[in-house]
Amino acid sequence: MPSDSLTIIDNRTGKQYEVPIQDGAVRAVDLRQIKTRDDDAGLMSYDPGYINTAPCKSAISYIDGERGILRYRGYPIEQLAEKSGFLETAYLLLHGALPSAAELDDWVSAITHHTFIHENIKKFIDGFHHDAHPMGVFVSTVAALSTFYPEAKNIQDEQSRATQIVRLIAKTPTLAAFAHRHSVGLPYAYPDNDLSYSGNFLNMMFRTTEVKHVPDATLQRALDVLFILHADHEQNCSTSAMRNVGSSHADPYSSTAAAAAALYGPLHGGANEEVLRMLRSIGAKKNIPAFIERVKRGELRLMGFGHRIYKSYDPRAKIIKRVADEVFDVTGKNPLIDLAVELERIALEDEYFVSRKLYPNVDFYSGIIYEAMKIPVDMFPVLFAIGRTPGWLAQWQEMLLDKEQRIARPRQIYTGPEVRDYVPIEQRG
Ligand code: ACO
């Protein structure tokens, strides 16, 4: 008998089972031997929302939700946010190690030289309504990339995978910026290879008549840090969507589009957008207590608060608060920051939030920074998607190379009617 094991007594039958424990987990499939009859399919674990189910082993990001720790490949998020750049962090997530100077040069050069998109993509962006949500445009255009690169379906080919990964990281800012330009009726601004990844994104967002648009260095760095903070977060909703769709061996563009679609929801990446709308609707500090009472009555949620895993302060929110000050030095202070700080203070003194361990998450302050940078609210989840793309791709590749992974196909507990005979329409009551 293994020393690390779980003894289970099935009180329905009186039978006893030994189930091995490895890495702090039992294998759900080991429960299948627990049966009441020979034709019984075996015991399942019921876990809506996958609250306590690990569908994979992963070496990419580590979270300790009680202690507010986030690490990428072992490196604390605080160190990466201070010392690394977004493309270096993307390399780290994808390759498992920080690059040498030569490797980083090659990587940055490859990304920089894949930022252009096929001219036909502009034509179908043109087909969207002017008020189309940019996240809808983003999801559709990322999915459409698969039609431009049909070889991407060779997911077992290492070289092809590497090429699609570079293309996706390089082209998502272009698609995002073009979605914005379309929504405001401006001509598309093409990538500028002289600029940094974040600088080029700001250039494509905001360039107008100037020959060269060089965004403020502080804003470039702030955006880079925000992208780093969003780059991976283990098995969240969108990453699970990426892995689920990818497990059917769909190409990476289709899988990334699925992940972005999952991110769109207001309980996930759409929350930063909702935070801004919430702060605007509160309007003034004097309205906060009444707002908090409505939240406590269950009428609405305090957006940007709470997290499935973090039960103490989200470490990303702490870093973002610092970045906000640097951005405001350039842009002027966003008045919503005072409202947000006061809302946080009042919430964190309130028994409702304290007892439920609800703290600000990454989205509570990110939108305030984006707004100060003149990025429209609709674009907030799109920015999240740009930052998360390397994480999705690292998780997708890890899933494909993991021999234990199979097509995602959960079980269910059937609660519908027993078998019944079809009734012709004229005989139905
Ligand atoms: N405002 C008010 N109450 C909340 C909030 C909130 N933001 N979040 C959770 N609660 C309450 C719930 O009502 C519940 O209370 P109850 O026990 O009295 O019923 C309790 O806290 C537990 O909440 P759950 O919904 O069970 O927690 P879950 O882990 O399923 O949800 C989630 C996590 C979705 C993030 C939730 O906290 C939420 O909706 N937050 C607001 C949206 C948000 O900011 N999302 C961004 C998450 S971070 C990210 O995706 C990058």
Tens of pLDDT, residue by residue over 230-260, are: 999 999 999 999 999 999 999 999 999 999 9
Tell me the pLDDT band of 290, cut-offs 50, 70 and 90: very high
The percentage of residues in the chain with a pLDDT greater than 90, rounded to a whole number, is: 90
- Residue whose CA is closest, atom 41 of ligand 1? 303
Q: Would you state the pLDDT for residue 122?
A: 94
- pLDDT over threshold 70, residue 75: yes
| Residue with the two structure tokens 């983003």 | 138
> How does DSSP classify residue 10?
E
Q: How many CB atoms lie within 10 A of CB 99?
A: 16
Q: What is the pLDDT of residue 363?
A: 87
- Tokens 């509570």 sit on residue: 364
- Asked whether 284 and 339 are in contact (CB, 8 A), the reply is yes
CB 300 within 8 A of CB 356: no
Residue 378, CB-side half-sphere exposure with 13 Å CA sphere: 17
22 by DSSP, 3-state: which? strand
Residues 258, 240: contact at Cβ < 8 Å? no
Look up residue 360 and give its DSSP letter: B
Q: What is the mean pLDDT of residues 187-199?
A: 96
Instruction: Point out the catalytic residue in the list 232, 314, 363, 378.
Output: 363
377 CA → ligand 1 middle, Å: 22
Instruction: Flag whether pLDDT at 2 surpasses 60.
Output: no
Q: Which tens digit of pLDDT belongs to each residue from 336-368?
A: 999 999 999 999 999 999 999 999 988 899 989
Task: Give the mean pLDDT of the chain.
Answer: 95
Round to whole Å and give the CA distance between 140 and 143: 5
CA gap 305, 360 in Å, rounded: 4
CA-closest candidate to residue 53, choices 230, 234, 210: 234
Q: Dump pLDDT digits (tens) for 128-141.
A: 998 999 999 999 99
pLDDT tops 90 at residue 213? yes
- Is pLDDT larger for residue 3 or for residue 394? 394
8-48 pLDDT, tens digit each: 999 999 999 999 999 999 999 999 999 999 999 999 999 99
Six token digits for residue 28: 């759900």
- Using only C-alpha atoms, what is the Rg of the chain? 24
For the question of residue 268 being annotated catalytic, the response is yes
Tell me which of 226, 237, 267 to substitute to probe ligand 1's pocket, judged by most ligand atoms within 8 Å of the beta carbon: 267
Of the candidates 298, 289, 296, 278, the residue with the CA atom closest to the CA atom of residue 342? 289
Residue 178 has pLDDT above 90, yes or no: yes
Choose the residue to mutate in 235, 277, 361, 380 for probing ligand 1, maximizing ligand atoms within 8 Å of C-beta.
361
Asked if 364 and 279 count as a contact pair (C-beta separation under 8 A), the reply is no
Vertex 369 angle, CA 364 and 373, to 5°:
150
Selected catalytic residue, list 307, 314, 329, 402: 307
Sign of CA dihedral 371, 375, 378, 381: negative
pLDDT number for residue 46: 97
Cβ proximity of 314 and 360 under 8 Å: yes
- Residue 357, sorted as left (phi over 0), alpha (psi -120 to 50) or beta, turns out to be left
Catalytic residue list contains 130:
no
Helix, strand, or coil here: 184?
helix
Which helix (H) or strand (E) covers residue 385, if one does?
helix 380-401
**What separation in Å is there between the alpha carbon of 303 and the centre of ligand 1?**
8
Sign of dihedral through CA atoms 146, 147, 152, 155?
positive
Alpha carbons 388 and 394: distance in angstroms, whole number? 10
Q: Probe ligand 1: pick from 227, 235, 308, max atoms within 8 Å of CB?
A: 308
Q: What span, in angstroms and rounded, lies between the C-alpha atoms of 111 and 87? A: 9
State the pTM of this model. 0.93
Strand ranges (E), 65-183: 69-72, 75-76
Task: Examine the residue annotation and report whether 307 is marked as an active-site residue of this protein.
Answer: yes
pLDDT beyond 80 at 3: no
Q: 101-159 pLDDT, tens per residue? A: 999 999 999 999 999 999 999 999 999 998 999 999 999 999 999 999 999 999 999 99
Closest ligand 1 atom, CA of 356?
21
Q: Give distance in angstroms: CA of 347 to centre of ligand 1.
A: 14
Q: Give alpha helix (H) positions in 187-331.
A: 197-206, 217-230, 237-246, 252-264, 271-282, 288-296, 315-331
C-alpha closest to that of 96 among 395, 343, 366, 424: 395
Query: 261 CA to middle of ligand 1, Å?
Result: 20
Q: What pLDDT, on a 0 to 100 scale, did the predictor assign at position 78?
A: 97
- Tell me if 283 sits within 8 A of 273, measured CB to CB: no
User: Please, which pLDDT band fits residue 330 given cuts at 50, 70 and 90?
Assistant: very high
CB within 6 Å of ligand 1 — which residues?
A: 267-269, 271, 295, 301-308, 356, 358, 361-363
Atom of ligand 1 nearest to the CA of 230: 51
Decide if 263 contacts 381 (C-beta within 8 A).
Answer: yes
Q: How far is the CA of 307 from the centre of ligand 1 (A)?
A: 6
Q: Of these residues, 268, 325, 338, 421, which one is catalytic? A: 268
